[in-house]
Amino acid sequence: MRFDREIARDTTLTATKTDFGDLPDWDLTDLYPAPDAPELRADLKALEEKAASFAADYEGKLATLDAPAMLEAIRRYEAIDTLAGRIMSYAGLRYYQNTMDPARAKQMSDLQAQITDMTTPLVFFSLEFNRIPDDTYQAVFTAPDGPARYRPVFDRMRAMRPYQLSDELEKFLHDNSVVGAAAWNRLFDETMAGLEFDVDGETMQLEAVLTLLTDHDRAKREAAARALAEVFQKNVKLFARVHNTLAKEKAVEDKWRKMPSPQHGRHLSNHVEPEVVEALRNAVTAAYPRISHRYYALKARWLGLDKLQVWDRNAPLPTETPKTVGWDEAKATVLDAYAGFSPKLAELAEPFFNLGWIDAAVKPGKAPGAFAHPTVTTVHPYVMLNYLGKPRDVMTLAHELGHGVHQRLAAAQGELLASTPLTLAETASVFGEMLTFRKLLAETTDPAQKKALLAGKVEDMINTVVRQISFYDFEVRLHAARAEGELTPDDINAIWMDVARESLGPAFEYMPGYETFWSYVPHFVHSPFYVYAYAFGDGLVNALYAAYEAQPEGFQQKYFDMLAAGGSKHHKELLAPFGLDASDPAFWDKGLSMIEGFIDELEAMED
């Protein structure tokens, strides 16, 4: 079965020539042919008309709609959402290809402002919907000819009822967003993309410097770390201003909404109970001595050091042979690993390589990091990488393709139901990494290579679980401190160092300047409290993989069904077929025990 048009490399697609092969560039024409395309102008006009007519037809009337009329209203709302999402996906992806291009930045900003204005008449929808009496809501959403399939979306919406403001205030916040958080986000992105780092006389951008932190040459790692510290220190006042402003803006809105905590809104949007997140956080922090502290003490012995420096945290093992992985090899590795689980999984991933759905090369002005953008359910996702041929880049490819596959499968749910809560959004990505790792481990016979591979996986898991929960703690403490008043850069630095010492343990000492490394983490700016989703996803996948190993028969179909559900089910429903329950505190210990087991294997190799 094919999920797209015939998969064949289009000769019109472009690629960037690198030392690692010809790396694919995005082909954004599936969204719009060009930034000045008549199709884009037509969609903007249609969006304005559809939003205005929707408001004229339904404002003040939602509570009077019967089941079929409510279904029609929701479908119209979904179509508007899809149209706006398509426009902003195109503008956003073009911008992330080159954040230093003024024309791209202007187009994204202008379109964001236009769409905000056009969709202001729709603000009534969620506000009015949440005022529908419970009895009416129940009757409409259980009727056989009504919108029953959309109920999970609106149950989540109605969970916001206790925190809803007046219509006028909600419209004000909607209009003001473009000069509030969105503007500070853009300032952060453009500043970060424009930073230049002098590493031993060579001028580099952030992504390339961060990659040097995994270099075999310790002197290069140290030079990279010191270059990062120097530039972050020079810009720390600006980054402190960004964090102060965003934290205060959030505090003001939370105060008006009467949110019980700064992170509560994230839990609501994730459709996860605060106590589940707290159980995860407590399980991980309690495991710091058994996992990160123990592993880093082991690593210090491998490196022959009394103390690790920050530039040793992700250093390769001394016995590990430096390796550059070409793009074709990376592609084959991941697709083979996916196919080993299920041919369908590889088939879902293959078009990303052949149809211009991946932008892989490091380029001037390109946003750092990696992501999979779902765009809208009527198109397809796009994956962004900054591929530099490192073995970890192969795992990043496996990770982002997992997101892409998940997004493709969930697209059948439609725009409103496809979006997966952040707590489950990392499931397919981390599972894709695990499949790739397990395949490589099974094929490795050399003891030194096996040890290096296993150590690399432990470090990835520590970065995903321990580091992300420490990031979550950092955010919790930062927002709590900000509630007491303006934070100086030194205040934020101190919070960062407290969390670092707790999570990394006594094996480390810290160079001057490391205290500013909080400043480059984009999640703190773009998605407050997002980071626990990574740890949630890793723990969930570890438990899922254990279930797969214990009973592989029929697992694949249950797995695809879970991904295809998108946001249509609660995590309890999605995990029930596997016999798992994230609300059980012991659930998280299962995931953590897998990491401990890998460390046990590494310690046994010492004997």
215-266 pLDDT, tens per residue? Answer: 989 999 999 999 999 999 999 999 999 999 999 999 999 999 999 999 999 9
133 in any annotated domain? yes
| Sequence-distant (≥ 6) Cβ neighbours of residue 312 within 8 angstroms | 218, 221, 299, 300, 303, 305
Task: For residues 341 and 435, give the distance between their C-alpha atoms in angstroms, rounded to a whole number.
Answer: 7
pLDDT of residue 12: 64
φ/ψ (deg, to 5) at 508: -105, 150
Tell me the pairing of strands 15-18 and 21-24: antiparallel
pLDDT of residue 294: 97
Domain that holds residue 85: 31-179
* pLDDT tens digits for range 79-88: 999 999 999 9
- Residues 269, 421: contact at Cβ < 8 Å? yes
Q: Where are the alpha helices (DSSP H) in 59-97?
A: 67-97
Q: Calculate Rg over the CA atoms of the chain.
A: 24
Domain CATH code at residue 54: 1.20.140.70
**Average pLDDT, stretch 355-362?**
97
405 in any annotated domain? no
pLDDT of residue 479: 97
- Residues 503, 292: contact at Cβ < 8 Å? yes
Indicate the helix (H) or strand (E) that contains 198: strand 197-199
Indicate the helix (H) or strand (E) that contains 236: helix 218-257
Task: For residues 155 and 150, give the distance between their C-alpha atoms in angstroms, rounded to a whole number.
Answer: 9
| Sequence-distant (≥ 6) Cβ neighbours of residue 568 within 8 angstroms | 149, 152, 413, 417
Number of domains in the chain: 1
**Average pLDDT, stretch 129-152?**
95
358 in any annotated domain? no
Task: For residues 198 and 210, give the distance between their C-alpha atoms in angstroms, rounded to a whole number.
Answer: 13
* pLDDT level of residue 403 (50, 70, 90 thresholds): very high
pLDDT of residue 174: 80
CA 40: distance to chain centroid?
Answer: 28
pLDDT of residue 4: 38
Tell me the pairing of strands 21-24 and 197-199: unpaired
pLDDT of residue 582: 84
- Residues 586, 433: contact at Cβ < 8 Å? no
* pLDDT tens digits for range 2-56: 333 333 334 468 999 999 999 999 999 999 999 999 999 999 999 999 999 999 9
**Average pLDDT, stretch 319-341?**
92
First CA to last CA distance, the chain: 50
205 in any annotated domain? no
pLDDT of residue 61: 96
13 in any annotated domain? no
571 in any annotated domain? no
Both tokens of 250, joined, read 């959030």
- Residues 317, 302: contact at Cβ < 8 Å? yes
**Average pLDDT, stretch 529-533?**
90
pLDDT of residue 5: 33
Tell me the pairing of strands 358-361 and 21-24: unpaired
Both tokens of 258, joined, read 């009467």
**Average pLDDT, stretch 59-64?**
95
Per-residue b/e over 262-296, b at no fewer than 16 CB within 10 Å? Answer: bbbbbbbbbbbbeebbebbbebbbebbeebbbbbb
Phi/psi zone of residue 323: left (φ > 0), alpha (ψ -120 to 50 degrees), beta? beta
Tell me the pairing of strands 382-387 and 15-18: unpaired
Lowest mean pLDDT among 45-59, 206-220, 349-363: 206-220
Spatial CA neighbour of 341 closest among 461, 432, 444, 443? 432
pLDDT of residue 534: 86
Spatial CA neighbour of 4 closest among 408, 560, 556, 413? 408
Phi/psi zone of residue 197: left (φ > 0), alpha (ψ -120 to 50 degrees), beta? beta
Average per-residue pLDDT in the chain?
92
Say whether pLDDT at 1 is over 60. no
Say whether pLDDT at 517 is over 80. yes
Q: How many Cβ atoms sit within 10 Å of the Cβ of residue 510?
A: 16
pLDDT of residue 110: 95
350 in any annotated domain? no
pLDDT of residue 607: 54
- Residues 250, 262: contact at Cβ < 8 Å? yes
Spatial CA neighbour of 416 closest among 129, 134, 32, 26? 129
Which one is predicted more confidently, 313 or 572? 313
**Average pLDDT, stretch 299-312?**
96
pLDDT of residue 10: 45
* pLDDT tens digits for range 422-457: 778 889 999 999 999 999 888 888 888 888 889 989
382 in any annotated domain? no
Per 3-state DSSP, what percentage of the chain is helix, strand, and coil (rounded to 5)? 70, 5, 25
Tell me the pairing of strands 358-361 and 382-387: parallel
pLDDT of residue 7: 35
